[in-house]
Chains A and B, each alone.
Chain A
């Protein structure tokens, strides 16, 4: 199983070793459970990166406390619409932008809460923020680096989960 990991993590600044706390098996187990429970297709999630989407939807939740960082869930606009259609039990053509934002935000919330439980605590989870972008990395956090990233494919569309860790300015 080849899992692409973003390799541009800054080696100068010290960040918590997230990869030691959250294994890819844990991350994938959580993703599979979310897919199996809500999208009825846990076994259709393939742990290989898909071609980047032209239009991407990202949702982020922040973790603040003993661990400071962000969990970002990103996918293509097309997959986000499919997800919203299944969650809201609507035909895809009836899914609104608000529905998509709500559903992608809820995916980030569920993933964020489950990942938070594997990180040092106590900490609190923020409400989700949802963004869409035309190409490129949709979401960046200042003073934080990517500590863990997993890219997957669902029905040919890209799915990714990224954990950003805040760089501690005191280190």
Chain B
């Protein structure tokens, strides 16, 4: 059932060339899972035959379809959950400690697509901010009006609901609407949706504590990437955090950023001359158990974006997502607390 080495190597080279994304050995299943629908559509018996045909014909449209199939992740809710974990465990507590006067947490989801990212952020922070007197302001932007309208409706198909949304969040924040599911109204109201083309000058914006710009830069050429990153710094608080996609970096594009480890994830922070406004937070992150701060400075070897080592999660459970609450080992207290907050009666079965 698995794809041949030849097929995998060809697809890996293709995706690296076209999207600067590295498909490591061991991701054969992913190539299989994502390309089977394309193979069937093309009338091929399997992925090997399809890729062999692709090699022969070298059709731009089909190549783009393959790249899209392997790089498009926008429909998943919290699958790449490390940035969301880091937001809850380190970033938001640090912001709350440093700006007690305003009591407003401001987050920008800069390419919100159909809304899974801003809603995911709102769901992750709901319990954390409840009864603290803090207000959450999320700005969700996208270049596509169609996507924004979809996102603003907050209505998702069963297939979309199945994609990386923890079941405990589904029951807590969604209700059925016909064959679809609709997000809780209070959560929807906490998000402002607005059309923004990142390549153009930004409209008037507040100063953000956190910006999510994940898997977006890959769509722009180097000068535009640099311009976006520079303008991001103008709307990010000096001690704010920028989250890029797991395989993305500012290295070689805009050297005014520092890469810091937060939780099991990495964020980028404005590099300041002299004493860093960030040192306190970076140190806080560095002292987290078993995680030393990894700062990729100028001395780091210049590596192509996709080959920057990513934090490996291995099999370690994520601390803030609903884990088996009674696993015998490696169970963090946080996940137990998360479960305790879940809206489950426990006796109505």
A and B directly contacting (CB within 8 A): yes
Which residues of A approach B to under 8 Å, CB–CB?
A: 23, 25-26, 29-30, 33, 36-37, 40-41, 89, 114, 117-118
Contacts of A41 in B (CB 8 A): 40-41
Shortest Cβ distance from A129 into chain B, in angstroms? Answer: 25
A118 touches B178 (CB 8 A): yes
Contacts of A23 in B (CB 8 A): 178
Residue in chain B with minimal CB distance to A39: B40
Shortest Cβ distance from A38 into chain B, in angstroms? Answer: 11
Given A40-B40, A89-B1, A118-B179, list of 4 further CB < 8 A pairs? A26-B179, A29-B180, A33-B157, A33-B158
Q: Is B297 an interface residue (CB 8 A)?
A: no
Q: Is B36 an interface residue (CB 8 A)?
A: yes
How far, in whole Å, are A93 and B36 apart by their CA atoms in the complex? Answer: 21
B179 touches A30 (CB 8 A): yes
Contacts of A30 in B (CB 8 A): 158, 179
The answer to whether residues A117 and B157 also contact, given A40-B37, A40-B40, A89-B1 and a CB cut-off of 8 A, is: no
Q: Is B176 an interface residue (CB 8 A)?
A: yes
B179 touches A29 (CB 8 A): yes
Q: Is B25 an interface residue (CB 8 A)?
A: no
Residue in chain A with minimal CB distance to B36: A40
Shortest Cβ distance from A153 into chain B, in angstroms? Answer: 17
Contacts of B1 in A (CB 8 A): 89
Which residues of B approach A to under 8 Å, CB–CB?
A: 1, 36-37, 40-41, 157-159, 176, 178-180
User: Which single member of B159, B178, B179 contacts A36 (CB below 8 Å)?
Assistant: B159
How far, in whole Å, are A25 and B179 apart by their CA atoms in the complex? Answer: 9
How far, in whole Å, are A89 and B1 apart by their CA atoms in the complex? Answer: 9
Contacts of A37 in B (CB 8 A): 159
A33 touches B159 (CB 8 A): yes
How far, in whole Å, are A114 and B180 apart by their CA atoms in the complex? Answer: 11
Contacts of A40 in B (CB 8 A): 36-37, 40-41
A-B contact pairs, 28 of them (CB 8 A): A23-B178, A25-B178, A25-B179, A26-B178, A26-B179, A29-B157, A29-B179, A29-B180, A30-B158, A30-B179, A33-B157, A33-B158, A33-B159, A36-B37, A36-B159, A37-B159, A40-B36, A40-B37, A40-B40, A40-B41, A41-B40, A41-B41, A89-B1, A114-B158, A114-B179, A117-B176, A118-B178, A118-B179
Residue in chain B with minimal CB distance to A21: B178
Shortest Cβ distance from B32 into chain A, in angstroms? Answer: 11
Shortest Cβ distance from B118 into chain A, in angstroms? Answer: 24
Residue in chain B with minimal CB distance to A115: B179
Contacts of A89 in B (CB 8 A): 1
Shortest Cβ distance from B155 into chain A, in angstroms? Answer: 12
How far, in whole Å, are A36 and B163 apart by their CA atoms in the complex? Answer: 14
How far, in whole Å, are A40 and B39 apart by their CA atoms in the complex? Answer: 9
Shortest Cβ distance from A17 into chain B, in angstroms? Answer: 15
Which 6 pairs across A and B sit closest by C-beta, in order of nearness?
A26-B179, A40-B37, A40-B40, A29-B179, A26-B178, A33-B159
How far, in whole Å, are A41 and B43 apart by their CA atoms in the complex? Answer: 11
Shortest Cβ distance from A167 into chain B, in angstroms? Answer: 26
Contacts of A33 in B (CB 8 A): 157-159
Contacts of B158 in A (CB 8 A): 30, 33, 114
Shortest Cβ distance from B220 into chain A, in angstroms? Answer: 31
Shortest Cβ distance from B234 into chain A, in angstroms? Answer: 43
Contacts of A118 in B (CB 8 A): 178-179
Contacts of B40 in A (CB 8 A): 40-41
How far, in whole Å, are A117 and B178 apart by their CA atoms in the complex? Answer: 9
How far, in whole Å, are A89 and B37 apart by their CA atoms in the complex? Answer: 14
How far, in whole Å, are A30 and B1 apart by their CA atoms in the complex? Answer: 28
Shortest Cβ distance from A138 into chain B, in angstroms? Answer: 26
How far, in whole Å, are A37 and B179 apart by their CA atoms in the complex? Answer: 16
Contacts of A25 in B (CB 8 A): 178-179
Residue in chain A with minimal CB distance to B160: A33
How far, in whole Å, are A56 and B91 apart by their CA atoms in the complex? Answer: 60
How far, in whole Å, are A40 and B157 apart by their CA atoms in the complex? Answer: 17
Contacts of A26 in B (CB 8 A): 178-179
Contacts of A117 in B (CB 8 A): 176
Shortest Cβ distance from A83 into chain B, in angstroms? Answer: 13
Contacts of A36 in B (CB 8 A): 37, 159
Contacts of B37 in A (CB 8 A): 36, 40
Shortest Cβ distance from A105 into chain B, in angstroms? Answer: 21
Contacts of B178 in A (CB 8 A): 23, 25-26, 118
Residue in chain A with minimal CB distance to B179: A26
How far, in whole Å, are A40 and B40 apart by their CA atoms in the complex? Answer: 7
Name the residue in B40, B41, B179, B180 with the highest tally of chain A Cβ atoms < 10 Å from its Cβ: B179
Residue in chain A with minimal CB distance to B180: A29
Shortest Cβ distance from A20 into chain B, in angstroms? Answer: 12
